[in-house]
Amino acid sequence: MITRLSINNYALFQEVNINFNKGFTVISGETGSGKSIMLDALALLLGKRIDRMLLLGNNSKCIIEAEFTISEYCKHFFKIYDLDFDTETVVRREINTQGKSRAFINDTPVRLNVLNDFGSLIVEVFSQNKLFDFKDKNFQFKIIDQLANSKNELSLYREELKTFMKLEKELFLFKEKSTISSAELDFIEHQYNELNNANLNKFEKENLENNLSILENSDDIANIISEAELLFNDQQGIISNLSIIQRKLKNYDVFKDLYKRIDSSIIELNDINQEIYSIKNTINFDSDKLNEIRNRLDFINKMLYKHKLSSLDDLIDLKNEFFARIELSSSFELLLKEKNDKINQQKEKLLKSLNILNSKRDKILDSFCCSVENILHQLGLPDAKFCIEKKIFEDFHNNGTNFYVFKFSANKGVKEEEISKVASGGELARLMLAIKYITAQNSHITTLIFDEIDSGVSGEIASLMGDMMREISHTTQLISVTHLPQIASKADRHLKVSKRIINENTISVINYLNKEGRISEIAKLLSGKEVTQAAINNAVDLLNQ
DSSP notation for 384-420: -EEEEEEEEEEEEETTEEEEEEEEEE-STTPPPEEHH
Where is mean pLDDT largest: 84-93, 237-246, 288-297? 84-93
> CATH number for the domain including 96?
3.40.50.300
State the total domains in the chain. Answer: 3
Rg (alpha carbons) of the chain, rounded to whole number: 42
> 50 — alpha (psi -120 to 50), left (phi > 0) or beta?
beta
The answer for residues whose C-beta is within 8 angstroms of residue 516's C-beta and 6 or more apart is none
Within a domain: 426: no
Q: pLDDT band for 58, please (50, 70, 90 cuts).
A: low
* Cα-based angle 31, 33, 34 (whole degrees, multiple of 5): 110
> Cα(55)–Cα(61) distance, rounded to whole angstroms?
8
Within a domain: 332: no
Distance of CA 38 to the CA centre of its chain: 28
Which pLDDT score is estimated for 127?
Answer: 76
89 and 210 share one domain: no
Within a domain: 133: no
* Mode of pairing for the β-strands spanning 505-512 and 493-502: antiparallel
310, 338, 370 - which closes a domain = 310
113 and 223 share one domain: no
Quick check: 3 and 20 in contact, CB under 8 A? yes
Share of the chain above pLDDT 70, in %: 92
458 and 534 share one domain: no
Give the CA distances from residue 138 to residues 57, 131, 143, 436, in Å, rounded to whole numbers and listed in that order. 40, 14, 9, 16
> 99 — alpha (psi -120 to 50), left (phi > 0) or beta?
left
Q: Convert 501-534 to b/e letters by CB count within 10 Å (16 or more is b).
A: eeeeeebbbbeebeeeebbbbbbbbbbeeebeee
Within a domain: 344: no
> Cα(111)–Cα(204) distance, rounded to whole angstroms?
53
Which pLDDT score is estimated for 96?
Answer: 85
Give the CA distances from residue 137 to residues 31, 119, 133, 389, 390, in Å, rounded to whole numbers and listed in that order. 33, 21, 8, 12, 12
123 and 213 share one domain: no
507 and 522 share one domain: no
Which pLDDT score is estimated for 388?
Answer: 92
pLDDT top residue among 256 and 478 = 478
* Mode of pairing for the β-strands spanning 417-418 and 447-451: unpaired
Q: Please state the rounded mean pLDDT for residues 144-169.
A: 93
pLDDT of 367 > 60? The answer is: yes
502 and 544 share one domain: no
Within a domain: 496: yes
Q: Please state the rounded mean pLDDT for residues 264-281.
A: 80
Which pLDDT score is estimated for 360?
Answer: 94
Q: pLDDT band for 129, please (50, 70, 90 cuts).
A: low
Within a domain: 477: yes
User: What's the pLDDT tens digit per position in 495-532?
Assistant: 999 888 877 778 888 999 999 999 999 899 888 778 88
pLDDT of 285 > 70? The answer is: no
Residue 470, classified by CB atoms within 10 Å of its CB into exposed (0-12), middle (13-18) or buried (19+), is: middle
499 residue type, one letter: K
Count Cβ atoms below 10 Å from residue 394 Cβ, excluding itself: 5
Which pLDDT score is estimated for 164?
Answer: 96
Quick check: 528 and 31 in contact, CB under 8 A? no
* Cα-based angle 107, 108, 109 (whole degrees, multiple of 5): 115
263, 288, 310 - which closes a domain = 310
Angle of helix 151-178 relative to helix 312-330, nearest 10 degrees, comes to 100
211 and 285 share one domain: yes
User: On the CB side of 321, how many CA atoms lie within 13 Å of its CA?
Assistant: 9
Which pLDDT score is estimated for 153?
Answer: 95
Q: Please state the rounded mean pLDDT for residues 324-352.
A: 87
Within a domain: 337: no
pLDDT top residue among 18 and 241 = 18
User: What's the pLDDT tens digit per position in 424-477?
Assistant: 777 888 888 888 888 887 788 889 998 887 777 778 888 899 999 999 999 899
Q: Please state the rounded mean pLDDT for residues 48-65.
A: 72
474 and 545 share one domain: no
pLDDT of 131 > 60? The answer is: no
Question: Maximum Cα–Cα distance for the chain, whole Å?
Answer: 135
310, 343, 368 - which closes a domain = 310
Quick check: 154 and 356 in contact, CB under 8 A? no
Q: pLDDT band for 139, please (50, 70, 90 cuts).
A: confident
501 and 543 share one domain: no
**In the sheet that 101-105 helps form, which strands lie side by side, from edge to edge?**
108-110, 101-105, 88-95, 62-69, 2-10, 13-19, 505-512, 493-502, 24-28, 477-481, 447-451, 123-127
Count Cβ atoms below 10 Å from residue 250 Cβ, excluding itself: 12
Helix (H) or strand (E) holding 232: helix 218-233
Q: Determine the 3-state secondary structure of 362 from DSSP.
A: helix
Read off the pTM: 0.67
The residue among 218, 196, 216, 220 whose CA lies nearest residue 208 is 216
122 and 207 share one domain: no
Q: pLDDT band for 348, please (50, 70, 90 cuts).
A: very high
pLDDT of 182 > 80? The answer is: no
> Cα(276)–Cα(223) distance, rounded to whole angstroms?
12
Domain that holds residue 104: 1-128+452-512
1 and 124 share one domain: yes
503 and 526 share one domain: no
77 residue type, one letter: F
Mean pLDDT of the chain: 85
User: On the CB side of 32, how many CA atoms lie within 13 Å of its CA?
Assistant: 2
User: What's the pLDDT tens digit per position in 90-107?
Assistant: 999 998 878 788 999 999
* Mode of pairing for the β-strands spanning 13-19 and 101-105: unpaired
> Cα(476)–Cα(440) distance, rounded to whole angstroms?
7
Which pLDDT score is estimated for 163?
Answer: 96
Quick check: 364 and 164 in contact, CB under 8 A? no
Within a domain: 158: no
